[in-house]
Amino acid sequence: MTRFSPARVLAVLRKESIQMRRDPATIGLTMILPLIQLFLFGYALNANPRHLPTALVSADHSRYERTVTAALANTGYFDIHPYPTVQEAQAALARGDVLFVLRIPPDFARSVDRGEKPSLLMEADATDPTAIAHATAAMTALNASVLNRDLPVSLQGEPVSPPYEAILHARYNPEQITALNIVPGLIGVVLSFSTMVITTLAITRERETGTMENLLAMPVRPVEVMLGKIVPYIGLGYAQTFLILAVAVLVFDVPVRGSVPLLLFALGVFIACNLALGFTFSTIATTQMQAQQLVQFALLPSFMLSGFLYPFYGMPAWARFIGEVLPLTHVLRICRGVLLKGNGLPEILPDLWPMALFAVAAGVVAAFSYHETLD
């Protein structure tokens, strides 16, 4: 070979074209991933969430209460839901069922009529400062004349300030530090990436290196193979968890207000979800490239729709429905709830059982997808 040969280039090109046609799954995944990104960024993600669930605890059912709540609803940021007691509303705030608790004190109307400028307390779940930023700004920017039509004639006019004082109490993250939201979420994200990728390559690596025949010749059942390959990575996942928690506490000053053993138990369920899903991908894929693309296919929606990068309530209903299926969504809530809110088992249970169900379902699919022959 003394010089460049177009004929040899065409021969290699023909060979690669034939190889690509023999692997339509890889080409299909390559085309689907950009489409998923386009639809997610174009339709699902929104950094300015609206219609945020808001608990209303009112001890003064007056015309002023109706005007204030209507004004908040008209901003488009608040969906008002009455709660009978402060305790129930705060429990809903701890579970993440609502993002705000609006408390209207007794004798609110009488105090307004007397010009005493009473206070309205708005408690906000500040574990995700981005989710509540625009809503809190809309609340504090309500027009000074919001109650003008309801005020007594003696008080009507153009007041320089509202006849009441709106007080915002940012719960769980008073200074609204973004790191306190991101760092606990990174526990789930790092575990998702590492455990799923490693496990996905388990069977495909055996197949590509030619050791699959030896594995199939062994007197082991699919469930036994799956457990034998998954269990070592559970220890690796916990090692990563301890490392991230140590850095989070020592470097980023993330508080630990809840039970660490409870958090570790929940993370164990999450690790099981990822390992079972990764093992399923490894049984479906025929090459390591396909396996890695399947991992990307699963991780991309998880990162986008879980509430890690963008506020969960900023997404449309269909995107939130998909997000509720993903284990990462639930483990993010658990990590932030245990570390920042001090949540216990009753508060995390609504997010714990979906992960356990997902792990069982993925494990069953993995066991049935595992082939005991090379065909």
The string of DSSP codes covering 107-118 is THHHHHHTT---
- Residue among 218, 221, 237 nearest 327 (CA): 237
Do 64 and 147 form a contact (C-beta atoms < 8 A)? yes
Report the C-alpha gap between 329 and 311 in whole angstroms. Answer: 11
Residue 168 has pLDDT above 70, yes or no: yes
- Residue among 267, 340, 313 nearest 47 (CA): 313
Structure tokens, 347 = 């508060």
Average pLDDT taken over every residue of the chain: 82
Residue 362 has pLDDT above 60, yes or no: yes
pLDDT per residue over 191-211, tens digit each? 888 888 877 877 777 766 666
pLDDT per residue over 59-91, tens digit each? 888 888 888 888 888 888 999 999 999 999 999
Cα separation values, 353 from 179, 220, 360, Å: 28, 30, 11
Pairing of β 100-104 and β 119-125:
antiparallel
Report the C-alpha gap between 35 and 39 in whole angstroms. Answer: 6
Q: Quick check: helix, strand or coil at residue 348? A: helix
pLDDT per residue over 206-262, tens digit each? 766 666 556 656 666 666 766 777 777 788 888 888 888 898 889 888 899 999 999
Question: What are the structural domain ranges in the chain?
Answer: 52-171, 179-369
Q: Does domain 52-171 match CATH 3.90.79.10?
A: no
Rg (CA), the chain: 27
